[in-house]
Amino acid sequence: MDQEKYQTTFLLAFLILICALLLASPSPVTHAGPGLPPRRTPTPTRPPGGNNDGKPAGAHIILQVQSAPVEVWTVVQWQDSAGSWHDIEGWSGALDEGDQKVWWVAPKDFGTGPFRWLVYQGQGGKLLAQSELFYLSYSAGETARIEVSLVLSQPTQRSTSILTLPYPSSDGSYIELHVYPPQSGLWTIVQWQDSAGGWHDIEGWQGTLNEDHKKVWWVAPDIFGKGPFRWTVYQSEKGRLLATSDSFYLPNSAGKKVQVGMTLSQ
């Protein structure tokens, strides 16, 4: 009995000693290994290069109108694959200050086109001029500057003053209409034909004959060779149709001219 008691006492003492040793030893330290994921960097709320009003970095288009009346109205248009032009509702308005109109271009629209600028004699008024075709800027911070000059020509019976657009550059070509016999007040319109055979007026290619009884329009390089087109001649701007030309295609290279002659019946 005494020996059994002695063994029990020894076992308890040994267990107590082991527990004391475990409690006295320091706890191991765990260090972050190289395989742990890095801390997420907060994303800035404004992209780099943003401006003060919160818009991301973009570009601009600027219209410069020389000798512009105070009341002029400007509209930017885009051209579809069929050659038709469409107003851009968000890019319409009066000049900002002096003789300029500025619009901001979003990065997603960089490099798109072609576009053109129209200048009217007030909102809903008569078309005064159209710009050459242009494409939007290709990178942030760029500015596409478009110039339109309103040049006063000699008055005619139709109006007290006609404002026309000079030919923009020498790298384009021309279409020219000759009308026989010459008459005063005639109104000319160039039309384009769609794939279904329908004809559509081109808003920017309309007007009276020049003093030499011709009508000339500048053709931009990016529409060389397109067609078919045709000329129509009216008795006046709102008058009856007098004649329609044969269909033709635009010149296919710079400096060339497509001349069309039309004879009016007596």
Q: Residues near 148 by Cβ (< 8 Å), separated by ≥ 6?
A: 63, 64, 65, 66, 117, 119, 129, 130, 131, 165
Q: What is the mean pLDDT of residues 209-234?
A: 87
Whether 51 has a pLDDT exceeding 50, the answer reads no
CA pair distance 79, 100, nearest whole angstrom:
23
C-alpha R_g of the chain: 38
Q: Are 250 and 224 in contact (CB under 8 A)?
A: yes
Q: Are 68 and 95 in contact (CB under 8 A)?
A: yes
The strand pair at 173-180 and 257-263 is best described as: parallel
Domains of the chain: 58-166 (2.60.40.1120), 168-266 (2.60.40.1120)
Percent of the chain clearing pLDDT 70 (strictly above): 72
* 9-13, 33-37, 66-70, 246-250, range with greatest mean pLDDT: 246-250
pLDDT band with cut points at 50, 70 and 90 for residue 7: low
**Helix%, strand%, coil% for the chain, nearest 5:** 10, 40, 50
Coil/strand/helix, residue 250 = coil
